[in-house]
Structure 1
């Protein structure tokens, strides 16, 4: 991953020759010290910020397609004309500049503010239950799309929303400072007139259109989003509730694990070889702990990635010094060790459970909404009650390819769903999108676009052990998903191909 600096490329205020600007090839330059991209599509020339608003990814290394530009790092997609976020984890739109073309020369002038969108329908009020990725994105997008009505965001945790993927990656590894975690500043909510309340929803009254919270507070709505997320699972075994046994879902969870390390924990057992479990294992090894991973499968992630890529992931962890106990399950935990189902005893002063999550459907279920491995919604994220939407880890949505239902637990995808809900609420066009996530294991980062709950064939190219790999997952001859290592542009192209093939999720 490279970084742009302000002195790269030409001074775009001084201008460049029109012939130097090739169709759909971003040209990196600068304006008054600010990195800026010029992008030509047909007769249109756009000038936008050169860095993604999520971690500053280099957009000049990304992909231009369908009137948008995609970041090579984490697949945030921005509209070229307006800078607006179409999909992915970017928290803010790109800045735009005015462009003047005359006599074969192109110059970038002052900063340009695109015309504000005009909602086609305006709910009297919007209530959002849950301040995770989906809830935050919905609130932000409502304001970005011109909604001026009241927005109330009910946050179950004091510090949400946060950059959750970082909790099991760089933050847990001690490589990221705490100030990287919050997605928004305290001033953000005030500036956008979003009432953010720390309260847990207890009951949903459909007839009165209100949500009752702890402390007898109630909040009415005209449009309601249920973004209640998911809760981590604890194994039903003796000792699972001991104080040195942790899950890893919230900032408080990550802080508790870091506190245990600071207090002297040196031997960790990870229960479960999930993405969270393995990422936590890598992070704890980076902190110098002895780490053992216990899981019932014979090869972690093989069901998701296939044997070859799964072998590479395991090899990376083995080189980092992680010990695996596969085909085994924890049977009991005591203050000093984890006992396995074969009688093996693993010393442990820190235990992390990474055995999955369950969608938090209690609020919806008590209200009588349809629930089937999540809150049942249509392609536009509406439930059986037209004024109620659901998005994120809790939403069970029709799969556009198979027609079955899917519930995807990806943080960046929850953000995309949140934006789509906001546009659906306002009657605006919804840009199609494809699910994406990334997983980090030491120096190995895997990108994954699409969704393949099952597949019957793989098409592999390159070598994952060498950091150059692309794998397509097919069902009945159709590509459903693509995993990659070190193939950023190929991964972006695969995303566009999946969109064109109808694997996206546009709301009607």
Structure 2
């Protein structure tokens, strides 16, 4: 989804690399046969891999090397530098592996070569796995089961085939990405990997005694291990007129298609809600040329998530792009061509998009007798109160290492939970301790957020949001719980590694006065 990466550094076909130039957490960048290559030093020696992330094409040369892994600067995908495997979402495909040889103070790079991936025999081998939900967590879990060596039947059940949901409110909605970018995989992938994909069907119930899920047409699928990844659904506020046909919500590909069709026929739009989804939709519709008004009760958008500094920046950015913001206001009524606010004023609206949050889909789990507390309750292995059932993604409430029980609605986090749940279904016994990460995009300005905090005492701002060069830390007591940044990608990656290890000294160092 990105253009060609500019080739920088030495041509590794004709040049060698001084060994002392390779080290630390920043990759060495070169190119070979017209393709970018990064070279890193691991505890076991030098490694060389392809320099372009397989997710959206980010430059791994601007990323971070952490032991045996390299992290993409854009959306924090993680690769094993020995095998090239994508081991941390959102990337799904591997990167090329090259042969790196260190001799007499010089490093030569050749290849690419076929990586040596060890044979994997799972510690546990359930007779069958059923996954309910084909979103981020479910789809990634299915792939991970196969990557970890599982060969028995996998059934993936969802309303639609897996798609790249972040794009539904960003490039696709803005008209800058074609629909054929959206599928996470083609249908052939699931057939080739012997994953039975069941779409346009719903699971009506779980028969825990028989270990079966029952679909809406009565068909049953047996399981020895069941992963619940039902996700969440938009909150539908009780606004008079919210059931009109020109009122939209955004969650699925069908929703995004409907908004695109409505935008083609409308000249003005009202967005109810100034969260990330509402504001991304506003930016996308402005890029399509509509007059857009955002209505929300808060005075500073996103302030409860990213603080006042970034919240004011996002507010000003949208105003600079022509969005009218009606902040401190709520909607009383939606009419055929306008919305009525609580102060009696009206906003023209040939179409309306409501984005005021989502709620977890817990009904299936609750009906099955699983523990529910603001989500499907799981332990740190993502297992529910039934030893044969795991849960992951937006509906799962898990024990965060420092924040306690939380339910977090982030795409990458859901994918990574799917990876961990798959590993634990196969007996690997991995605790889920990965720091949450998400990104948002407004008029091509990215905001990356790493970590989780339910609140903070101090907002530490280093840099200037208006210059698109800033990192913000959120401190509660003496602890940095999260950071957000604009074009401070390497610092954000370093923060992710520090948060994973609870390295408060490193986190405070990143936020030292400049």
TM-score (norm. length: structure 1)? 0.94
1:6-53 Cα distance to aligned partner (Å, 9 max, x none): 854444455624526411442333444443322222441212221111
Matched, 1:276 2:242: no
Contact 2:73/2:490, CA 8 A, preserved across alignment: yes
SS at match of 1:82: coil
1:243-258 alignment, distance < 5 Å: 243-258=245-260
Q: 1:185 to 1:452 in 2, by over 3 A?
A: same
Contact 1:6/1:34, CA 8 A, preserved across alignment: no
* Aligned match of 2:79: 78
* Aligned match of 1:187: 188
* Aligned match of 1:230: 232
Q: 1:201 to 1:142 in 2, by over 3 A?
A: same
1:48-59 alignment, distance < 5 Å: 48-59=49-60
- Residues in 1 aligned to 2:273 and 2:12: alpha-carbon distance in whole angstroms: 52
Q: 1:446 to 1:104 in 2, by over 3 A?
A: same
Q: 1:432 to 1:65 in 2, by over 3 A?
A: farther
Contact 2:123/2:427, CA 8 A, preserved across alignment: yes
TM-score (norm. length: structure 2)? 0.93
- Residues in 2 aligned to 1:300 and 1:442: alpha-carbon distance in whole angstroms: 16
* Aligned match of 1:501: 502
- Residues in 1 aligned to 2:358 and 2:376: alpha-carbon distance in whole angstroms: 15
437-446 or 484-493, larger mean C-alpha shift: 437-446
Deviation of residue 113 (structure 1)? 3.4
- Residues in 2 aligned to 1:284 and 1:98: alpha-carbon distance in whole angstroms: 47
Matched, 1:440 2:441: yes
Contact 2:400/2:433, CA 8 A, preserved across alignment: no
SS at match of 2:450: strand
* Aligned match of 2:483: 482
* Aligned match of 2:209: 207
* Aligned match of 1:410: 410
* Aligned match of 1:346: 347
Question: What residue ranges of structure 1 are gaps of 5+ in the alignment?
Answer: 504-508
* Aligned match of 1:506: none
Q: 1:7 to 1:398 in 2, by over 3 A?
A: closer
Matched, 1:98 2:99: yes
- Residues in 1 aligned to 2:102 and 2:67: alpha-carbon distance in whole angstroms: 22
312-321 or 230-239, larger mean C-alpha shift: 230-239
- Residues in 1 aligned to 2:114 and 2:230: alpha-carbon distance in whole angstroms: 39
Deviation of residue 112 (structure 1)? 2.1
1:310-362 Cα distance to aligned partner (Å, 9 max, x none): 11110001111111112211111121111112211212110000011010111
Contact 2:82/2:115, CA 8 A, preserved across alignment: no
216-225 or 232-241, larger mean C-alpha shift: 232-241
Contact 1:3/1:57, CA 8 A, preserved across alignment: no
Q: CA-atom RMSD, angstroms?
A: 1.9
- Residues in 1 aligned to 2:346 and 2:136: alpha-carbon distance in whole angstroms: 39
The alignment covers a number of residue pairs equal to 499
Contact 1:337/1:346, CA 8 A, preserved across alignment: yes
- Residues in 2 aligned to 1:42 and 1:361: alpha-carbon distance in whole angstroms: 44
SS at match of 2:217: helix
Q: 1:6 to 1:31 in 2, by over 3 A?
A: farther
Contact 1:226/1:390, CA 8 A, preserved across alignment: yes
SS at match of 1:119: coil
Contact 2:53/2:95, CA 8 A, preserved across alignment: yes
SS at match of 1:136: helix
Equivalent residue for 1:147, pick from 141, 147, 150: 150
Equivalent residue for 1:156, pick from 159, 162, 172: 159
SS at match of 2:168: helix
475-484 or 75-84, larger mean C-alpha shift: 75-84
Q: 1:390 to 1:42 in 2, by over 3 A?
A: closer
- Residues in 1 aligned to 2:7 and 2:292: alpha-carbon distance in whole angstroms: 45
* Aligned match of 2:267: 266
- Residues in 2 aligned to 1:205 and 1:56: alpha-carbon distance in whole angstroms: 43
Contact 1:101/1:107, CA 8 A, preserved across alignment: no
130-139 or 11-20, larger mean C-alpha shift: 11-20
Contact 2:449/2:482, CA 8 A, preserved across alignment: yes
Deviation of residue 433 (structure 1)? 2.2
247-256 or 90-99, larger mean C-alpha shift: 90-99
Q: 1:238 to 1:487 in 2, by over 3 A?
A: same
SS at match of 2:428: coil
* Aligned match of 1:115: 118
Contact 1:401/1:502, CA 8 A, preserved across alignment: no
* Aligned match of 2:326: 325
1:269-290 Cα distance to aligned partner (Å, 9 max, x none): 0011111001101111111111
- Residues in 1 aligned to 2:2 and 2:317: alpha-carbon distance in whole angstroms: 23
Contact 1:4/1:35, CA 8 A, preserved across alignment: no
- Residues in 1 aligned to 2:396 and 2:290: alpha-carbon distance in whole angstroms: 37
Deviation of residue 103 (structure 1)? 4.6
Contact 1:6/1:33, CA 8 A, preserved across alignment: no
